[in-house]
């Protein structure tokens, strides 16, 4: 465990067992150097506590990197709850979790993640104010979609053979949930030609009707000849095999952990496909959550989401200059912000 903590440079790890509710939870705080650690709480039936610890550490680190590149005055953290066997009292479980968060005195702010809902956040809120995504907050997904939209625009601009304009551009969107659908809406407004896929056929039909999109089988969407492939479903879409089958100029989507392994970044680079690092271009939702929690203005929110565009252009510029793939460059940029002591990095 301490090797994992050291390797990920995690600040601290908190474990809680609450006998009455059956809560078994771990909160990993990666960094609080730039501000309180913000990150979601997921509830999953983990096979072991080791698995839960590893997940919390990995996810907390990801949140730090995401907040740093988004220029937020926040650190990264994540909570995991080992889902007890059914049936269990959900309200009691999340109340106990809320008390756990409260005891950390604002060093960690929790939010929604896999398996948790707005009503769970409301339950947590009955015990602590260090929680976002309650029924009083808005939906982050449209802001995530907006950030991905800027990421797509920047990818078009950076590509030597593409026009800096969405009109007539072919975009293949994989996953038409909260983010994917809002993204399609925005791209359609700008005159893009959409190819769409989802395991839920009704979502495909809806996009066909609303945006004149062309429905594609789920197994084929990544093979669609297009300018941009936009993974907005589950993570891990980009493997050595699927990258070999891509027929796009750039990949820019909202899904977390799109690259099956970091080495896939090199494969994309060698193939000449631009890759917009997922945790940079899907940060719109985090920015929204952070700005709402800190009671900042709409203008500041828009400005920060728009900033995804120049940051991505800078990553592509460094990629071209250094020959290192964009995912690695993004990591280096985040690490410079998180760990360097130079004053200009800290004021980012």
Please identify every residue annotated as catalytic. Answer: 78
State the minimum distance, in angstroms, from the CB of residue 88 to ligand NAD: 23
Helix (H) or strand (E) holding 348: none
Q: Which is nearer to ligand NAD, 239 or 256 (CB)?
A: 256
DSSP code for 192: P
Mode of pairing for the β-strands spanning 75-82 and 37-44:
parallel
Phi, psi at 181, each rounded to 5°: -70, -45
Helix (H) or strand (E) holding 252: none
Q: Which is nearer to ligand NAD, 177 or 215 (CB)?
A: 177
State the minimum distance, in angstroms, from the CB of residue 285 to ligand NAD: 3
Residue with the shortest CB distance to ligand NAD: 177
Neighbours of 335 (CB within 10 A): 14
Q: Which two tokens stand for residue 293?
A: 């929690």
DSSP code for 84: P
Q: Which is nearer to ligand NAD, 116 or 144 (CB)?
A: 144
Calculate ∠ Cα 277-275-217, nearest 5°. 105
Q: What pairs with residue 28 in β-bridges?
A: 13, 78
Q: Which is nearer to ligand NAD, 13 or 171 (CB)?
A: 171
Q: Which is nearer to ligand NAD, 131 or 255 (CB)?
A: 255
State the minimum distance, in angstroms, from the CB of residue 190 to ligand NAD: 20
State the minimum distance, in angstroms, from the CB of residue 18 to ligand NAD: 28
State the minimum distance, in angstroms, from the CB of residue 117 to ligand NAD: 12
End-to-end CA separation in angstroms for the chain: 32
Phi, psi at 312, each rounded to 5°: -65, -40
Environment class of residue 230 by beta-carbon count within 10 Å: exposed (0-12), middle (13-18) or buried (19+)?
Answer: buried
- Peptide bond between residue 144 and the one before it cis (omega within 30 degrees of 0): no
Binding site residues, ligand NAD, CB under 6 A: 140-141, 144, 174-180, 197-200, 203, 218, 232-235, 254-256, 282, 285
Rounded to an integer, what distance in angstroms lies between the CA atom of residue 336 and that of residue 247?
34
């Amino acid at each position: 465990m301490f090797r994992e903590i050291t390797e990920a440079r995690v600040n601290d790890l908190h474990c809680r067992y609450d006998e009455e509710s059956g809560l078994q939870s771990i909160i990993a705080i990666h960094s609080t150097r730039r501000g309180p650690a913000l990150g979601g709480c997921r509830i999953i039936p983990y096979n072991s506590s080791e698995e839960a610890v590893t997940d919390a550490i990995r996810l907390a680190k990801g949140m730090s990197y995401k907040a740093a590149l988004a220029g937020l005055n926040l650190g990264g953290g994540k909570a995991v709850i080992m889902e007890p066997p059914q049936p269990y009292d959900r309200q009691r479980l999340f109340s106990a979790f809320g008390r756990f968060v409260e005891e950390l005195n604002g060093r960690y702010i929790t939010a929604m993640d896999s398996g948790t809902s707005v009503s769970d956040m409301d339950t947590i809120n009955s015990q602590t104010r260090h929680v976002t995504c309650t029924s009083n907050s808005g939906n982050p997904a449209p802001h995530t979609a907006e950030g991905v939209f800027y990421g797509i625009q920047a990818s078009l601009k950076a590509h030597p053979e593409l026009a800096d304009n969405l009109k007539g551009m072919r975009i293949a969107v994989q996953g038409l949930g909260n983010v994917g659908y809002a993204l399609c809406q925005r791209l359609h407004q700008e005159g893009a030609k959409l190819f769409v896929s989802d395991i839920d056929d009704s979502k495909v039909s809806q996009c066909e009707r609303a945006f004149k999109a062309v429905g594609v089988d789920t197994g084929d969407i990544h093979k669609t000849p297009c300018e941009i492939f936009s993974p907005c479903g589950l993570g891990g879409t980009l493997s050595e095999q699927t990258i070999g089958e891509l027929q796009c100029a750039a990949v820019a989507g909202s899904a977390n952990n799109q690259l099956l392994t970091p080495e896939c970044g090199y494969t994309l680079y060698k193939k000449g496909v631009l890759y917009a690092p997922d945790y940079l271009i899907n940060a719109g939702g985090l920015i929204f959550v952070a700005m709402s929690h800190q009671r900042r203005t709409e203008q500041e929110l828009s400005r920060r989401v728009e900033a995804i565009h120049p940051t991505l252009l800078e990553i592509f510029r460094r990629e071209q200059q250094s020959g290192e793939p964009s995912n690695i460059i993004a990591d280096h940029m985040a690490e410079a912000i998180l760990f360097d002591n130079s004053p200009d990095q800290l004021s980012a």
